[in-house]
Amino acid sequence: MALRITSLIEMDTGKRVAEIIAKMTLEEKTAQLSCIGRVPEAPWLKDAPPAKAAGDLVRRYPDGIGQAGRPSQHLDPAAAARLTNALQQALAGETHLGIPALFNEEGVHGHTAVGATMYPTAIALASTWDAALIEEVFTAVAREIRARGSNYVYAPVLDIATDPRWGRLEETFGEDPYLVSTLGLAAIHGLQGKDWEIPPDRVLACAKHFAGHGSPEAGMNAAPLHAGERELREHHLAPFARVVSEGRVGALMAAYHEIDGVPCHTSRWLLTEVLRDEWGYEGMVSSDGFGVPQLIDVHHVAEDVEKAARMALMAGVDCEVPEPRCFSTLADQVRSGLVPIEAIDRAVTRVLTAKQRLGLLDEVPRVDIDRATEIVNSPEHRKLALRTALRSVTLLTNRESLLPLDPKTYERIAVIGPNAADLHLGGYSRKDGQGVSVLAGLQDRFGADQIEHAEGCRISEGPAGGAEWWADEVHPSPAADQPERIAAARAIAERSDLAILVIGGNEATAREGWALNHLGDRISLSLPGEQEALVEAITATGTPTVAVVMGGRPLDLTDVTDRCGAVLQIWYQGQEGGNAVAAILAGDENPSGKLPVTFPGGVGRVPSTYRDKPSKGRGYLFACREPLFPFGHGLSYTEFSYANPVVAPVAISPDETATATVEVTNAGPRAGIEIVQCYVHDRVASVTRPVQWLVGFQPVHLEPAETKTTSFTVGPAELSLLDSNMKRVVEPGAFEVRMGTSSADYVSTELTVS
């Protein structure tokens, strides 16, 4: 039984919610369990003044609504604030019980709405390895969402990403449960605050996708997960368990896929027995978009909408989004005896409790229209976007110390590549606000007269340079059109002192594949299009070349690292990305990013994570099994050294805790931030364990010649495992504690548990 400490506020809320439910009709109850769809796209709302839209809303939905989808998506901040104010006023004043709505939004790296501040994508945020910075970012995201009148956000993503073919990897915090849970917890604290009551400038967070969505079969979105219960619990469930216990997350979203033949939307074991009975979770569980009807036409476990609704509700899904295709049948099913009223009341209680946490049941929600304009994409938030982008840049290689660049050394710089000139923000983004491309950032930093640009080749064709995340069709750029572009780029490189190649993927070639006509996963890790030919042509000129790699997932950069003098992995860096890249290249800032995922160096090595089991394999014939870049890798313009790893005491009992310390010295010429990482290796266990696993990390700022001692806690939480009886225990034995700059570069010491 989970231990919970219930506050007086929560007790008062439970009483208030029970009083409301006692007054509700059956139709009013079931109305709270659904979403009315994406409000700005509703035909009855389009271009309507807010007052008319509000009147139409209550006429169409006289029993009220649980939530409405993305009212801010297509509206500027002031217009969104006017609309949400009018809708909430109408719901409060013109429906029987006056219950305001949850207004849901997308916000995995900034509010997906007109004019919002766009931060680096989640995988880039994870490259900072800085929980305090992540909390700051999501605090700003929450402020922008709430300022417009919305109050509920589908974020953060807590999926463990183990397959780089998967197009949604960019939405995640990486491959490691501890890293994902730590950054996910920080994001939830930023979005909701740390108290049970959610402040008026914060929002309800919905962590997703519960659970195991990031390791789909063959890397295809929503494909089955193949994992045993031990792996599921220790790997995929771990981040969710932590944000439930430590973050008091307000909502979880069920995942599309199946586990061992049971779709997550129908898994009572997952949504009730584990989530509620074991963990004590009392928040709301949402379906994923159209996840309930997919029980009919994708999973084929329900023959009609009535059965799909019944299965999902009884498993533990409390609300259907984005529209009530199935849950609209629940009232009739209660009357016919197919669904017990207790199940409806239980779900309604969770929805209303979420609304009470936001203060929606206490007074009519209303936001200041002028404040919405002031907060959204404010100077403060733009500065935060730049600071975060700078911290996310990861220096993969730097042969012969080509970087940082001395602007005085290079009179002519060629900026080449399909990703240089356009603004690339990644999925779940809007380009309506300010944004700086890599080319624009370099022109501003080095001088436009110093830079010559060539596209070099194209990845895909169509709107937005073929990089349209929302468009269903993706048209690869014809190979026959590329030689002329490559030749023009080569000519520019030949007459330049330096070439900067801006390459990688784009928003169309790695994205959420949400339908058969909207695919987003790739079978290959190669650079899409003719980019490899472009790299070969430019580096063959002999001009020193830096590669700046953009995109949402790891690519096979073997040839790029062999040919280029330096390689930066930047992912998608948000609206200030161009300025950040320019500052890093010029040496104005020292790169400190670390990889939150392994770069396998070829699709034949997938899956490849640092948490391999000892028996994974002996290697490949005619090929190396080691990754191209290990988890945690990232270089700096200075040098860090590690010494004197110590654990004290050296022996503990299973319920005791030790402290591991290591001295880190900046042995180079520049100040820098080092991400000190701590891993544990269990020498012998009763069940197989990963070769090592992350148990701590800290960003440490060091001046030249400065030494700091960094410490980590090593105790039951870090050493325990699920034994053969699925019982969590700390087993006696020898452990190696590893502290260093990556999962492959560390110093170590011994700890004994007896």
Residue 44 confidence (pLDDT) above 90 = no
Q: How many helices (H) and strands (E) does the chain have?
A: 22, 27
286, β-bridge pairs = 253, 319
Q: Are strands 745-753 and 733-742 parallel, antiparallel or unpaired?
A: antiparallel
Of 532, 529, 414, 392, residue with least CA distance to 465: 529
Contacts of 423 (CB under 8 A, 6+ apart): 431, 435, 436, 437, 575, 578
**Which is more confident, 133 or 431?**
133
Of 348, 326, 337, residue with least CA distance to 265: 326
* Percent of residues, the chain, with pLDDT higher than 90: 87
Domain range summary for the chain, segments of one domain joined by +: 26-375, 393-605, 640-753
| Burial class of residue 228 (count of CB atoms within 10 Å of its CB; 0-12, 13-18, 19+) | exposed
Q: What is the pLDDT of residues 451-510, one digit of tens each?
A: 999 999 999 987 766 788 888 888 899 988 899 999 999 999 999 999 999 999 999 999
Helices (H), 154-300: 177-192, 229-231, 238-247, 268, 294-297
**CATH for the stretch 393-605:** 3.40.50.1700
Q: What is the pLDDT of residue 529?
A: 93
Sign of CA dihedral 106, 111, 114, 120: negative
Provide the CATH topology of domain 640-753. Immunoglobulin-like (2.60.40)
d(CA 666, CA 685): 37
Residue 10 confidence (pLDDT) above 90 = no
Residue 560 confidence (pLDDT) above 90 = yes
Give the position of tokens 């469930």: 237
Question: Mind spelling out the 3-state secondary structure of 341-377?
Answer: HHHHHHHHHHHHHHHHHCCCCCCCCCCCHHHHHHHCC
One-letter amino acid for residue 244 of the chain: V
3-class SS at 168?
coil
Q: What is the pLDDT of residues 296-354, one digit of tens each?
A: 999 999 999 999 999 999 999 999 999 999 999 999 999 999 999 999 999 999 999 99
Per-position b or e across 520-551, b if 16+ CB within 10 A of its CB? bbbeebbbbbbbbbbbebbbebebbbbbbbbb
Q: What is the pLDDT of residue 546?
A: 98
Give the position of tokens 């800290």: 698
Which stretch of 314-318, 477-481, 626-630, 745-749 has the lowest confidence by average pLDDT?
Answer: 477-481
- Give the CATH H-level superfamily of domain 26-375: Glycoside hydrolase, family 3, N-terminal domain (3.20.20.300)
Cis peptide before 211 (omega within 30 of 0): yes
Q: What is the pLDDT of residue 493?
A: 98
Residue 511 tokens read as 């994205």
